[in-house]
Amino acid sequence: MSLIRTRRGTILLATASTLLLLLALGGWFLAKRQKASARGEAISVDALQGKPAPEFVLLDLEGRTLRLSDLRGKAVQLNFWATWCGPCRLEMPWLSELHDKYASQGFEVVGVSTEGEDLKPRDENGRARQRNAVREFVAEMSPDYPILLNGDSISHAYGGLDSLPTSFFLNKDGVVVASQIGIRSESDIETNIRKALGLSTQAHETSQP
């Protein structure tokens, strides 16, 4: 009897310990998730890979509405940038060049200005100031693709956009096939564009599109 009680006690203790261990692990993961959520990182940039890009509706500089789903059927580079971001300025001519090169194959670049100033919803003056800054910047850089305003309103859905530039490359079904934070080279961007178009990414610099 004593033996059974002892054995049962051991099993109970082991089971309880395992449960506690699982609870501790669960608590740790939950705490980690909450921490990330509190920092506005509900979805990481990597987590969007292989998923449909979150839908949005934004205005361009002329006040026209652009809906992401309107671009379904085209491969898209969604490029989040800001007027104060040097690397963003550097890559803008590259994007125009690559847009030209691949447009005939159904490729589109969409620039989304993301000034990151946390304007209050009714701060019309702040919004007007941002719009003017973007307008001046675009006039100077002359990108040959549409520029949308107020990317901050969709930053959460796109991983928080803690660094710029950040680009998402969508295939013709609107699925994110690659993402890129920061710049390295024009060639890196082209590789991702070709991935979005379903083209070979081997030695693209010398190959014809």
Residues contacting 120, CB < 8 A, separation 6+: 126
Sole binder of other proteins in the list 137, 145, 158, 168 (CB under 8 A): 137
The binder of other proteins chosen from 70, 73, 86, 100 (CB under 8 A):
86
Nearer to other proteins, 89 or 204 (CB): 89
- Paired tokens of 190: 């082209």
Question: What are the residues facing 166 on neighbouring strands?
Answer: 80, 181
Output the smallest distance, CB 82 to other proteins, in A: 7
Work out how close the CB of 104 gets to other proteins at its nearest, in angstroms, rounded to a whole number: 29
Which range of residues in 101-109, 121-129, 163-171, 197-205 is near other proteins by CB under 8 A?
163-171
**Binding characters for other proteins, 177-206, by CB under 8 A (x = yes):** ----xxxx----------------------
Sheet holding 75-81, edge to edge: 147-148, 107-113, 75-81, 166-170, 176-181
From the list 110, 148, 164, 199, which residue makes contact with other proteins (rule: CB under 8 A)? 164
> Measured from the CB atom, is 134 or 170 closer to other proteins?
134
CB 197 within 8 A of CB 102: yes
Q: Which of 53, 71, 88, 176 binds other proteins (CB under 8 A)?
A: 88
Binding of other proteins by 123 (CB under 8 A): no
32: tokens are 């980690």
Residue found by looking up tokens 């669960």 in the block = 26
Q: Which of 133, 138, 157, 175 binds other proteins (CB under 8 A)?
A: 133
- The reply to whether 26 sits near other proteins by the rule CB under 8 A is no
- Of the pair 35, 51, the CB lying nearest other proteins is at 35
Long-range contacts made by residues 83-92, C-beta under 8 angstroms, separation at least 24?
83/113, 83/115, 83/133, 83/134, 83/136, 83/137, 84/115, 85/164, 85/165, 87/164, 87/165, 87/182, 87/183, 88/164, 88/165, 89/137, 89/141, 90/183, 91/165, 91/183, 91/186, 91/189, 92/141, 92/143
Establish if 119 lies at the interface with other proteins (CB under 8 A): no
Least Å from the CB of residue 23 to other proteins: 9
68 binds other proteins (CB under 8 A): no
